[in-house]
C-alpha cells in the first residue's frame, strides 16, 4: 500500500529546472530519504509534497487522493524545518499545543494530546521551559512534538539535524529512527548527509540536478550503485582501470595490471569498474581466490575506528580501509606490499 505517490513531478523557477519529472512511491510506514548535493532539488520536492511550492507539472497522491494543488493545511502533513522554528515567547506546552488551539480543540483534549506528544519525545517535565532554557536537541524534540501532536499521516523532515553538533546529531539520528519505527509514521527525510540517510532510511532516493539517480535500500545504494554519480557520492569508491580483452556469452575476460581474470557480463569498452575500500586487502593470506598485484603504501591515515591506506598500483591510486582492530600496525608508508581483491567484489557500471 502506497502512502505517497509522485508522478512526473516537475518544478521550474523561470529557466531553472529544479525538479525534472521525477517519480517515486513511498510505502505506508516507510522511512524514505531524499539525499543529494546542495541545489539538486531535494527541498523543492519536499516543499511540493507539503504544498508550500506549487509544481509546474506532475502529480502528488497521498493514498488515493490527488493533492497536487490542495492547500497545505488540508494535506494532513507534518513539516519539521531545518532551523526548528519554535516560538521563543511560548513555553514548551504552549509551543506544542499551538497547532491544536488553532483547530479549536477543547482544553481537556489538548492536555491529553500534548502529554502523549511529550512522552513520545521524552520531554515530560519540560512543559514550562522556554527556548532559551532548552538545548539544541531538546528544541528539535519540541519541534517534532509540535508536529506529531497533530497526528499527521505523513511526516516531512527537512535537514532537521543540520543545526546540531556532530555528537548530538549521531544521538538524534538513532533516536528519530526509533521513534519513527515505534509510531510507524510514513516519513520523508531530506538530507545532504549520506551517513544520516544510510543509518535511518528504509529506502533512499539519490537526487542529482533535479533527477533521481537511483532509488534503493541503503545496502543496495552502497553495494550496487547503478551509475558513476551514486558510486562517487556514496562512500569511497576506487575506480579500477580494467582492460577489456574479450567479451562473449555473458562472460568477459579483463586484465588489471597484467593479471587476467574473468568477470560476469558482456561489455564493450564503455564500462567503469568500482571497488569499495573494504574489499581491497593488503598482504592477503588467501591469495588463490584473489586478483593480487604489487603495490606501495603512499599514505596511512588514522580515522579512529578505521585506518585508511592509500596505495599505488602502477599508475593508479587506490584506497583500502580496515578496522583498527586488525593487526596491520607494522606497516609503514613507503612499504612494498601485495594488494588483492575478489573479482566478485567489483561493481561494473555502464553509464
Ligand atoms: P540545499 O541542500 O542547498 O538546500 P536542495 O537540494 O534542497 O539544496 P533546492 O533548494 O530544492 O535544492 O533548490 C533546487 C534549485 O532550485 C536550486 O538551483 C535553487 O537555486 C533553485 N530554487 C529553489 N527555490 C527557488 C526559488 N524560490 N526561486 C528560484 N529558484 C529557486
Q: What is the pLDDT of residues 257-300, one digit of tens each?
A: 889 999 988 887 778 899 999 999 999 887 778 999 999 999 99
For ligand 1, the distance from its centroid to the CA atom of residue 283, given in whole angstroms, is 47
What pLDDT is stored for residue 69 in this prediction? 94
What pLDDT is stored for residue 145 in this prediction? 93
Q: Is 223 exposed, middle or buried (0-12, 13-18, 19+ CB in 10 A)?
A: middle
What pLDDT is stored for residue 84 in this prediction? 67
Closest ligand 1 atom, CA of 207?
Answer: 6
User: Of the ranges 133-142, 205-214, 255-264, which is most confident?
Assistant: 205-214
Please tell me the residue having the least CA distance from ligand 1 atom 16: 18
What pLDDT is stored for residue 224 in this prediction? 92
Q: Please choose from 11, 13, 37, 159 the residue to mutate so as to test ligand 1's pocket, defined by most ligand atoms within 8 A of CB.
A: 13
For ligand 1, the distance from its centroid to the CA atom of residue 44, given in whole angstroms, is 6
Asked whether residue 216 carries a pLDDT value surpassing 90, the answer given is: yes
Residue 48: CB within 6 Å of ligand 1? no
The three cell numbers of residue 349 are 557500471
Q: What is the mean pLDDT of residues 4-25?
A: 97
Report residue 350's pLDDT band, with 50, 70 and 90 as the boundaries.
Answer: confident
What pLDDT is stored for residue 322 in this prediction? 86
Measured in residues, the chain has a length of: 351
Please tell me the residue having the least CA distance from ligand 1 atom 24: 44
Long-range contacts of 48-54, Cβ-Cβ distance < 8 Å, separation of 24 or more: 48/9, 48/11, 48/19, 49/4, 49/6, 49/77, 49/154, 49/156, 49/188, 50/75, 50/77, 50/79, 50/156, 51/75, 51/77, 52/79, 53/11
Residue 191: CB within 6 Å of ligand 1? no
Taking the C-alpha atoms of residue 218 and residue 234, their distance in angstroms, rounded to an integer, is 10
Please tell me the residue having the least CA distance from ligand 1 atom 11: 41
Virtual torsion, Cα 172, 119, 153, 7, nearest 10 deg: 0
Residue 13: CB within 6 Å of ligand 1? yes
Asked whether residue 152 carries a pLDDT value surpassing 90, the answer given is: yes
What pLDDT is stored for residue 153 in this prediction? 93
Residue 11: CB within 6 Å of ligand 1? no
Closest ligand 1 atom, CA of 210?
Answer: 14
What pLDDT is stored for residue 327 in this prediction? 62
Taking the C-alpha atoms of residue 304 and residue 306, their distance in angstroms, rounded to an integer, is 5
CA dist list (Å): 348 to 46, 145, 236, 238, 276: 32, 45, 15, 12, 12
CA dist list (Å): 41 to 17, 116, 187, 206, 223: 9, 35, 18, 11, 25
Asked whether residue 328 carries a pLDDT value surpassing 70, the answer given is: no
Q: How far is CA 177 from the centre of its chain?
A: 13
Q: What is the pLDDT of residues 77-124, one digit of tens each?
A: 999 988 767 889 999 999 999 988 888 888 999 999 999 999 989 899
Closest ligand 1 atom, CA of 44?
Answer: 11
Residue 40: CB within 6 Å of ligand 1? yes
In the chain the domains, ranked by start, together with CATH numbers, are 2-233 (3.40.50.300), 238-349 (2.40.50.140)
What pLDDT is stored for residue 257 in this prediction? 85
What mean pLDDT, rounded, does the chain reach? 92
Beta bridge partners of 59: 7
Check residues 325 and 129 and name the one with the higher pLDDT.
129
Asked whether residue 338 carries a pLDDT value surpassing 80, the answer given is: yes
Q: Please choose from 9, 12, 15, 18 the residue to mutate so as to test ligand 1's pocket, defined by most ligand atoms within 8 A of CB.
A: 18
Closest ligand 1 atom, CA of 19?
Answer: 14
- Asked if residue 169 lies in contact with residue 30, where contact means CB atoms within 8 angstroms, the answer is no
Q: What is the pLDDT of residues 48-76, one digit of tens each?
A: 999 999 999 999 999 999 999 999 989 99
| Range with lowest mean pLDDT among 93-107, 179-193, 222-236, 318-332 | 318-332
Residue 210: CB within 6 Å of ligand 1? no
| Range with lowest mean pLDDT among 212-216, 280-284, 307-311, 324-328 | 324-328
What pLDDT is stored for residue 287 in this prediction? 75
193: helix, strand or coil: coil
Please tell me the residue having the least CA distance from ligand 1 atom 15: 18
Asked whether residue 326 carries a pLDDT value surpassing 90, the answer given is: no
Q: What is the pLDDT of residues 240-263, one digit of tens each?
A: 988 899 988 888 999 998 899 999
For ligand 1, the distance from its centroid to the CA atom of residue 191, given in whole angstroms, is 13
Q: Kindly report the number of other CB atoms within 10 A of residue 296's CB atom.
A: 13
Closest ligand 1 atom, CA of 53?
Answer: 27
Amino acid at each position: 500500500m502506497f502512502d505517497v505517490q509522485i508522478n512526473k513531478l516537475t518544478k521550474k523557477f523561470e529557466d531553472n529546472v529544479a525538479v525534472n519529472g521525477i517519480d517515486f512511491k513511498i510505502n505506508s510506514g516507510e522511512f524514505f530519504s531524499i539525499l543529494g548535493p546542495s541545489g539538486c532539488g531535494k527541498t523543492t520536492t519536499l516543499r511540493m509534497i507539503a504544498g508550500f511550492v506549487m509544481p509546474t507539472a506532475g502529480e502528488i497522491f497521498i493514498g488515493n487522493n490527488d493533492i497536487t494543488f490542495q492547500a497545505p493545511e488540508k494535506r494532513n502533513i507534518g513539516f519539521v524545518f531545518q532551523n526548528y522554528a519554535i516560538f521563543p515567547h511560548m513555553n514548551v506546552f504552549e509551543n506544542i499545543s499551538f497547532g491544536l488551539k488553532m483547530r479549536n480543540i477543547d482544553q481537556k483534549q489538548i492536555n491529553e494530546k500534548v502529554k502523549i506528544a511529550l512522552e513520545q519525545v521524552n520531554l515530560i517535565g519540560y512543559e514550562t521551559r522556554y527556548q532559551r532554557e532548552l538545548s539544541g536537541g531538546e528544541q528539535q524534540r519540541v519541534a517534532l512534538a509540535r508536529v506529531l501532536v497533530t497526528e499527521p499521516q505523513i511526516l516531512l523532515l527537512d535537514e532537521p539535524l543540520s543545526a546540531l553538533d556532530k555528537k548530538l546529531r549521531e544521538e538524534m539520528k538513532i533516536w528519530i529512527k526509533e521513534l519513527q519505527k515505534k509510531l510507524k509514521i510514513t516519513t520523508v527525510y531530506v538530507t545532504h548527509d549520506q551517513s544520516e540517510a544510510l543509518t535511518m532510511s528504509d529506502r533512499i532516493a539519490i537526487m542529482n540536478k533535479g533527477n533521481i539517480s537511483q532509488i534503493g535500500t541503503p545496502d543496495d545504494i552502497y553495494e550496487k550503485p547503478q551509475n558513476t554519480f551514486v558510486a562517487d557520492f556514496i562512500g569511497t569508491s576506487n575506480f579500477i582501470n580494467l582492460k577489456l580483452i574479450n567479451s562473449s556469452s555473458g562472460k568477459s575476460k579483463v586484465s588489471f595490471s597484467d593479471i587476467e581474470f574473468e568477470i560476469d557480463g558482456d561489455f564493450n569498452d564503455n564500462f567503469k569498474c568500482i571497488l569499495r575500500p573494504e574489499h581491497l586487502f593488503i598482504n592477503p593470506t588467501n591469495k588463490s581466490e584473489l586478483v593480487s598485484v604489487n603495490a606501495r603504501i603512499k599514505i596511512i591515515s588514522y580515522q579512529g575506528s578505521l585506518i585508511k591506506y592509500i596505495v599505488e598500483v602502477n599508475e593508479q591510486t587506490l584506497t583500502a580501509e580496515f578496522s583498527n582492530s586488525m593487526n596491520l600496525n607494522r606497516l609503514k608508508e613507503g612499504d612494498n606490499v601485495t594488494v588483492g581483491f575478489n573479482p566478485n567484489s567489483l561493481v561494473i557500471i555502464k553509464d
